[in-house]
Chain A
Amino acid sequence: MRHIISILVENKFGVLARIAGMFSGRGFNIETLNVGPMMDGERSRITATIIGDSGALDQAIKQLGKLINVIEVTEFTSAQAVERELVMVKVQAEANKRSEIVQICDIFRAKIIDVGNDSMNVEMTGNANKVTAFLNLIQPYGIEELARTGSVALKRG
């Protein structure tokens, strides 16, 4: 099962290595990982999505909590959280294909951020399902490069 874990940490040397090592040392594969500083600059929020059974997840959360630089660990299911990911795609787009691609982008509320002679750079934001659906539709045109931020999430309400 896919779990989203939100980890509030002290913005200190090595903290990301400790967290990554905690997962790898227990055989978890991190699906996505995102790090960004808080307003105060002294703390960061790390959002990780991992696949694992609930017993293993419980253990991972407790082990995260033991790390000295970890202030708070929250786990959400998709229903409890608002989840977003940003993707940027460089898609092959010769003149005769451009309008089709633009249509798809419109449907997904994606933005064209750069256009070249035979390619376009597109930016799209959404949850994991929307990102997958969008990429599936774009793929046939030929994806040259792809960059994803990984999920970030906040609790609802």
Chain B
Amino acid sequence: MDILHNLAFGFEHALTLQNLFYCALGCTIGTMVGLLPGLGPLATISLLLPLTYSIPTSSALIMLAGIYYGAQYGDSVSAITMKIPHAASIVACIDGYAMTLKGQTGLALFTAGVSSFIGGTVAIVVLAALAPSLGEVALLFGPADYCALMLLGFICVSVVTTGSVINGLAMCLIGVLLGQIGTDLETGTPRFTFGAQFLVDGVSLVSVALGCFGIAEITKNLDEKSERTPFNGKIHLIPTWPEFKRIWPSALRGSVAGSILGILPGGGPTIAQFAAYAIDKKVSKYRHEIGTGSIEGVAGQAAADEAAARTSFIPLMSIGIPENAVMALMMAAFIIKGIQPGPNMIAKHPDLFWGLVASMWIGNCFLLIINVPLVRIWLSVFKIPYSVLFPSILFFCCIGTFSVNNNLEDIYVTAAFGFLGYVMMRLALDPAPLMLGFILGPMLEENFRRAMLLSRGSFTVFVTRPISATLLGVILVLFIAQLVLMLRARGASRAGGPVAASERDTIVASPESARN
């Protein structure tokens, strides 16, 4: 079969000692970088790009790719252990961190590792089989379709909220509003900047994430004067067989979601994690546990993350369009090496393409192998007393914020969000939906306005375009389903006796009485 032949060809190139070395190097650096709050693959790749000038092309690309998907795994680790997310690991903060609080950090990290492996493998199969044609899929999406997709993403709010849904929705809207700070794309008008130069390009995701999650969490811990649950020495790393079995369905679902969403420009790993989480919450056998620290909550996200990171290479390599900032940088790396990514790339440089694909799977294996010993190291890091740990985390938050734009003043923004995050936490407002709104909001607005511009003010474009119509149909169905379930739950609870007022708010129907 053609694919097998290509893959064999690719493995031939990827399995040279040199490429293996660079793959390992990339994965390790990536994991380290993803670990550290704020410092992301973008900053790292751009800093390390000069190193690649003297290395042969395929090795350079293998290393840079390794950094990218290694960082996705590292992101999960920092989300699980410190509740500090990057764009793609917001959901891991919910369940992953809850597992840490329950003392199940080792299990969470192991789940993340194995799920990443599963996610990566599935994505590579998808890549190998469908790369050129999948690139074309991205071209089918017009602004109206993206708008509908973003709306679908907003449905996930109810899923991502651990408290009352009104609060979750409110936080989501606040996130959307925060995302609008900056210069308006359509007209060039600066919005909500008050003449401050540093706000002209908006508020950085890193600042919001580090502030609302990291700093707020640290302050909360300090307030409670509770040093974190010290580990009693026995590191429960390898899960029991039933636990291990639970990883698979969730990870596979996440992989599929991630592989598909990774191809769409703009979305990629960020939306994929929410989709995987939402799907799990609807479909998984253990869905009532999701949100309180369940394996599914971690497995789905980690798999989706990794899968999306791999498939996001597709638009770059098959059409030559970088779909996010990291891909743009990879494209720069290609160009600096004298290669023009585009429709002809796979034909003209098959060794490069298939070598990269094969090395992605090798990277997968590396990540799995590296992470087992590494998990022990992370866990022992958390034996360090909190009084030493938290200043270090704050330091890394500063460095991470700085590394985005090489601008120290961004740290002021992070500090401001730290304060805001703390206030919101004390008001029982959950930051995860805020991140969802912050990420999806601007994309929704941009695409909505562009769709209106292109259709000259007519709403019918949302129904006439097939993808948009389908997605909106799905949203409608889901919405009605929610309503029906909510009404039914109300009916049941009324029959069951008086229910606390807050229960009535929750639109997501789950066995509420059971949670009581």
Partners in one complex: no
Where the two chains meet, the residues of B that have a C-beta atom closer than 8 Å to any C-beta of A are none
Q: Which A residues form the contact surface with B (CB < 8 A)? A: none
